[in-house]
Chain A
Amino acid sequence: MDSILSLKHLRKHFESQKAVDDISLEIERGQIFGLLGPNGAGKTTLIRMITGIFYPDQGEIFFEGKKFDPLIDVAKIGYMPEERGLYKKMKVGEQVLYLAQLKGLHKQEAKRKIENWFGRFGMESWWDKKVEDLSKGMGQKLQFVTTVLHDPSLIILDEPFSGLDPVNSNLIKDEIFRLAQGGSTIIFSTHRMEQVEEICNHIALVNKGQKILDSTVQEVKQQYKKHQYLITGRGLDKLAMEQAPFTPVSQKDNSLLIQIAAQPNSSTVLRFLLDQQVEITAFQEQLPSLNDIFIQSVGNTPTARTFEKN
C-alpha cells in the first residue's frame, strides 16, 4: 500500500476540549478521501496539523514516507480552508503570483502556470481586475486555482463548493477528478453527503475528536446496510406471504420493499419469487445513503460541544 500521508495517534488538546484525541489515518496516493464529521468534531484542527499550521501535542505525521517537515513539505500541499479570502485591493494576477511564489514557485514558472489555468477556466481577462470587483463565485474559482497552481501532491479542500453555482461546481468537480487521475491525492472535507458519495472513494468519519469510521464508501454502506431489497414486477400482490422467507416493509403499486434476515440470502428470495410466478422487472438491494449513516453514527451526540469556554 502506497500511502502518501499517515497519521499516527495524533492528539491536540486545547484548554477547553480535546479537539483531536488519538486519531490515526492512512491516506493512499491518488485517493479522493472524504473527511467527514459534524461541526466541532475536530476536522479543522486535524487539517491544520496536516498543513503545518498547528503542531500536534502527541503523535506523528508521515508525508510521502518521511517524517512530516512543515518547512519543506508545505510546498507539496495545497490547502483551501473553509475560512478563505484574498487581499481585496490587490490585482488578481499579482495576487495569484504572490501566493504561488510563497509556495516556492519561481516567477516565470508561476506565470506560465497561471496563464495555463486561467485559460482553462476562461479567466484570462481577470488579470488586472481587483479582487474586490469579483463576484463570490469568481472568487471561489480563483481560490481553487491558487490552491492547485503549484501542482501539490496532496490537495486539501474544505467545503470547496460553497458559494458556487451548479455549472461552476461541475467545473471544479471535473478538475478534482482530473487531478486525482493525474496522481494527486485529495482530502475533501464537507457536510454535504451527496457530494461525498459522488466524489470520494474512501471516507473517515470523525466525531468528538475521535475516528469512528474509516473505510471505502462501498464497505461503509455494506457495514450499515439493513438487508432491505426493493422488488419491482407484476404479480407481487398475489404473493403468499405466509411462506415468504422475508418480511414485507412496504408495498406500493407494483413494487415491494422487503426486509430479509441476514441468513437466507437474496437467491433464496429470488427463487421464492420465481416459484410464485412473479414477473420481476427489478430486484435491488437498498443500501443506506451516507447521509443516513452520518446521522445514525453521530446523530445521538449533542451537536454543539462547548468550543470556547470562558
Chain B
Amino acid sequence: MKKIWIIIEREYLTRVRKKTFVISTLLFPLLYIALIGGMGFIAEKSKETLTVAVIDYSGYFTKEAIAAENNVDPSSTLVLATNLPQENNKEDNGYDGYIAIPSLNWQQGNDSLILSTYKSYGSAATGVVESKLNRIWRRVLNDSLQLDVSKQAILVQSKIGLISRNISDQQANSATAEGIGYFAGFLVYFILLIYGSQVMMGVMEEKTNRIAEVIVSSVRPFQMMLGKILGIGAVALTQFLIWIIFVFVVYNVGVKSGTSMGFMAEAVGGIQRMMGSVNVPLILGCFAFYFLGGFFFYASLYGAIGSAVNEDMREAQSLSFPVTMLVILSIAVMTAAVANPTGPVAVWGSIIPFSSPIVMMARIPYGVPGTVPVWQLGLSMALLIAGFLTTVWFAGKIYRTGILMYGKKITWKEMIRWAFAKG
C-alpha cells in the first residue's frame, strides 16, 4: 500500500502547489457569501412599493388618518381620492391601483375589499397596503369602542401564542436548522461537482499524455484510481480546514472587538445563539463523513468516465451528464427535505447512497435522534460506505479497460459491460 501513498502524495502536492489552488481557496468563500448575500439583496431590492388611490364612501378613512399612516411607513403610499380613476394605466393617473371602500358598519368591517391593479403584484407589496388599512381601521374601532390607551395595550399584547417544540430533541430550532441544512447541503453539492470533475480531468490527462500504460505496468489500476481519489479528496479537505481556521480567526477577532463595534457584537451574538441551538460537533463530524463518502462515491464514477473518453471534452460532458443529473436531483430532494425533514422523500433521500450525502446533511441540523433517528443515520452511513466501495470497485474495472483504449467512442452500455467483465 506504499504505492498508494506515493500516488496520493503526487496528486496532492501537484494540486496544492498550483496558483489556482491558492486563488480558489481565497475566492470561493467570497463568491459563496456573495451568492447567498446577493440572493437576499435581490429579494430585498425587488420588493415593490405601490401608490394606491383610496375612494372612501364610509367616511372612516380620513385624509388625516391616511397621512399619519404614510408617515409611519413610507414604503407604499395611500392617496385619498374622490372619484374612481378614469384611465386604466399608471402613466395617465399616477396610481398602481385603487380601492373603493363602501360604506361600512364598524361592528362588522369588510373582509373582502378589492385592490384593483393594472399589473400583478406579490403579496409583499399588497401586504403593506392591507396592514396600513388595518391599522387605520384599528384606530376607528378604538375610538368607536371608547377604549383608552391601557385597554388598547391589553388588546394588542394579551394573546395566546403557539411555538412547536420537538421534545425528543431540545436543541432543534427549525429556522436555524433550515439555514444550516441549506448551507451544508449546498456545500456538499459544490464539492461533489467541483472535485468530482477534477478527478475526471486528472484521469483524462493521464490518458491523453499517454502515461497511463507506463503507470499501470507499475501499479494496479485500482491503486492508481484510489490514490488519485484520495489525493484529490485530501486537497478538498485542506481547502476546508483553511476555511474553518479562517472563520475561527475572524470569529475570535470579532469576540475581542465585539464591545467596541455594534454590528460585530450583533453578529457574534447571533452566531453564539445559533451555535447554542445546534449540536456543532455532531454536524461537523457528519459533514466530514458525508462530504468524504459522497466524494468517493461520485469521484469514482467521474474517474471511470475520464478513463473511457478520449481528448474530446464534449464527449466527457455527454458521458458525465447522467452522473451530474444525479447530483442535481439530490439538490431538488434536499429542498423538499429542508421543508419537511421527516417526510418520506427526506427519509428515503437521506438513506439512498447517491442522494444521501446532500440530503442527510440538510436533515441532521434538525437534530439527532429527534428528527433523524439513530437507525436512519446508521443505515445511511452504512449504505454510503457500501455504495462507494462498489462504485470504486466498478470504476477500477472500467478504468483498467478504458485507460488503454484509444480512438474509440465509448457508451455507458459498453462501460457497464467492462465493469462486469471477468478477470
Interface residues of A (CB under 8 A from B): 48, 51-55, 57, 70-71, 74, 77, 79-81, 83-90, 98-99, 101-104, 143, 146, 308
For B209, the chain A residues whose CB sits under 8 A away are: 85-88
How many pairs of residues, A versus B, come closer than 8 Å at their CB atoms? 61
**A71 vs B2: C-alpha distance when bound (angstroms):** 12
Interface residues of B in 1-27 (CB under 8 A from A): 3, 6-7, 10, 14
Instruction: Assess the B211–A146 pair: CB atoms within 8 A.
Output: no
List, sorted by A's number, 9 A–B pairs whose CB atoms are closer than 8 Å.
A53-B216, A79-B214, A80-B214, A83-B210, A83-B406, A86-B211, A87-B211, A99-B218, A102-B215
Given A87-B205, A98-B10, A101-B6, A71 contacting B214 (CB threshold 8 A)? no
Which B residues, 369 to 423, have Cβ-Cβ distances below 8 Å to chain A?
A: 404, 406, 408, 423
Q: Of all chain B residues, which has the CB nearest A307?
A: B408
- The answer, among A85, A89, A102, A308, for a CB contact under 8 Å with B6, is A102
* A101, B6: Cα distance in complex, Å: 7
Residues of A within 8 A of B7 (CB): 102
* Chain A minimum-CB-distance residue to B14: A90
Contact between B220 and A71, CB atoms less than 8 A apart: yes
With a CB–CB cut-off of 8 A, which chain B residues contact A80? 214
Q: Considering the chains assembled together, what is the distance between the CA atoms of A81 and B209 in angstroms?
A: 13
- B423's partner among A57, A98, A102 (CB-CB below 8 A) is A57
Kindly provide the distance from the CB of A39 to the nearest chain B CB, expressed in whole angstroms.
Answer: 14
Give, as a whole number of angstroms, the nearest-CB distance from A113 to chain B: 16
Chain B residues with a Cβ under 8 A of chain A: 3, 6-7, 10, 14, 205-206, 209-211, 213-220, 404, 406, 408, 423
Using A51-B217, A89-B14 as known contacts, list a sample of 8 further A-B pairs with CB atoms less than 8 Å apart, ordered by residue number in A: A74-B218, A79-B213, A84-B211, A84-B213, A84-B214, A85-B209, A90-B14, A98-B10
CA distance A98 to B217 in the complex (A): 14
Nearest Cβ in chain A — how far from B422, in angstroms? 9
Residues of A contacting B215 in the complex (Cβ-Cβ under 8 angstroms): 99, 102
B414 to chain A, nearest CB (A): 9
Residues of A within 8 A of B205 (CB): 87
CB closest chain-A residue, reference B215: A102
Collect the chain A residues with CB atoms within 8 Å of residue B213's CB: 53, 79, 81, 83-84
Residues on A with C-beta less than 8 A from B217 are: 51-53, 74, 77, 79, 81
* Interfacial chain B residues near A55, Cβ < 8 Å: 423
**Closest chain A residue, CB of each to CB of B403:** A53
Instruction: Give the top 10 A-B pairs by smallest Cβ distance, nearest first.
Output: A85-B210, A102-B218, A81-B213, A85-B209, A79-B217, A51-B217, A55-B423, A101-B6, A83-B210, A85-B211
Interface of A is mostly: loop
The residues of A that contact B14 with a CB separation of less than 8 Å are 87, 89-90
Residue of chain B at shortest CB distance from A88: B209
With a CB–CB cut-off of 8 A, which chain B residues contact A101?
6
Inter-chain contact A102/B210, CB cutoff 8 Å: no
A71 to B218, CA, bound (A): 9
| Interfacial chain A residues near B404, Cβ < 8 Å | 48, 53
Q: How far is the CB of A192 from chain B (nearest CB, A)?
A: 21
A103 in contact with B220 given A81-B213, A83-B210 (CB within 8 Å): no
How far is A74 from B216 in the complex, measured between Cα atoms in Å?
10
**Which A residues touch B3, using CB under 8 A?**
102, 104
Q: Looking at the assembled complex, report how far the CB atom of B28 sits from the nearest CB atom of chain A, in whole angstroms.
A: 22
Nearest to B210 among chain A residues (CB) is A85
Q: How many angstroms between the C-alpha atoms of A51 and B218 in the bound complex?
A: 8
Least distance between A19 CB and chain B CB atoms (Å): 12
- Among B215, B216, B220, B406, the one with the most A-chain Cβ atoms within 10 Å of its Cβ is B216
Nearest neighbor of A47 in chain B, beta-carbon distance: B217
Measured CB to CB, the nearest residue on chain B to A83 is B210
**Nearest-CB distance from B228 to chain A (Å)?**
12
- Please, how many angstroms separate the alpha-carbon atoms of A85 and B10 in the complex? 17
Chain B neighbourhood of A84, CB < 8 A: 210-211, 213-214
A103–B217 CA distance with the chains assembled, in angstroms? 9
Assembled-state Cα–Cα distance A52/B216 (Å): 8
Contact of B219 among A87, A90, A102 (CB under 8 A): A102
B37 CB, nearest partner CB in chain A, Å: 36
Give A96 to B406 CA distance when docked, in angstroms: 25
Complex contacts, B220 vs chain A, CB 8 Å: 70-71
**Across the two chains, which residue of chain A brings its CB closest to B5?**
A101
